[in-house]
Structure 1
Amino acid sequence: MQFASVRVITDDVARLVEFYERATGLEARWLAEQFAELVGPSCTLAIGGAQTMALFSPGAAVPESNRSAILEFLVEDVDREHKRLTGLAPVPEVVQEPTTMPWGNRSLLVRDPDGNLVNFFAPLTGEARARLAR
């Protein structure tokens, strides 16, 4: 089995796609008016409108209700990303300023426009880098 993607359901696909394009530097691939993908080297972030779920499973996904999952992006320099992201308009809500975590990663936690948690992180220690080696 291969983990292929994460899909976020939203009431405003264009707004969320624009945020992730600006936050990641990836260009979205629009497959339908209510569905786009940002394809990265290791995973795909899919963004779908609430209507895409209503077609098959009404009520199965509730936009803007996530409070537990975190979308994580590996970056080269967390502090540089913090400076870049806080220069965007609108500025994303910063939940955690750049912090070195006990497991050896430097981490910046923000919220996307729907309130989903997004972590930009970089391994600092040799052990942390080894965990990410595939």
Structure 2
Amino acid sequence: MTLALQYCHITVDDMDEAIAFYRDALGFKVTGDNGPGQQRWVSLSDPVHGGPELVLSSPYAGRSQEDGDALRELLVKGVLPMIVFSSDDLDADFERVRATGAEVLQEPIDRPYGVRDAAFRDPAGNTVRFHQPLKR
């Protein structure tokens, strides 16, 4: 059996701001825009590296009002799982994203466990990290 990750879902509260961040700051390409209003979901792909598609959706997309409300509370608190991207030039990628006005959570730093990493917050409050293996 061969398994590969196909989609990574990211909950957002303002679809247009989220699209701008993932498309303009991170370089993803919108490949689908579906559903009306709070049921809207948008898929994006990495046109250079391929890999799993990102799927942006509202807390209410495919969920009950009660579940959507609970998910929205977690989103507002900034406690949903983070997304981590690998980078082959973390410092350049960091500067490119910072130049878009994205909220910086952590400047690039070398970690004792063998990576250089940095972090931003997307417009919805999700943590977005970049990792690059340190040269040994």
Specify if TM > 0.5: yes
Native 8 Å contact 1:53 1:60 kept in 2? no
Native 8 Å contact 1:23 1:85 kept in 2? yes
1:35 correspondence with 2:41: yes
Segments of structure 1 that go 5 or more residues without pairing to the other structure are: 127-134
Equivalent pairs counted in the alignment come to 122
User: Which of 46, 49, 56 lines up with 2:58 in the alignment?
Assistant: 49
Aligned partner of 1:22 in structure 2 is 24
- TM-score by length of structure 2 reads 0.78
Aligned partner of 1:108 in structure 2 is 118
What amino acid is the match of 1:29? T
Q: Deviations over 1:21-66 (max 9, x none)?
A: 1222111122314111112322111001234133xx3333423244
Per-residue deviation, 1:15: 1.2
1:84 correspondence with 2:81: no
Segments of structure 2 that go 5 or more residues without pairing to the other structure are: none
Deviates more, 1:77-86 or 1:24-33: 24-33
Moved over 4 A (4+): none
CA distance in 1, matches of 2:67, 2:4: 24
Per-residue deviation, 1:79: 1.0
Per-residue deviation, 1:68: 4.8
Amino-acid identity (%): 25
Per-residue deviation, 1:19: 0.6
Aligned partner of 2:65 in structure 1 is 58
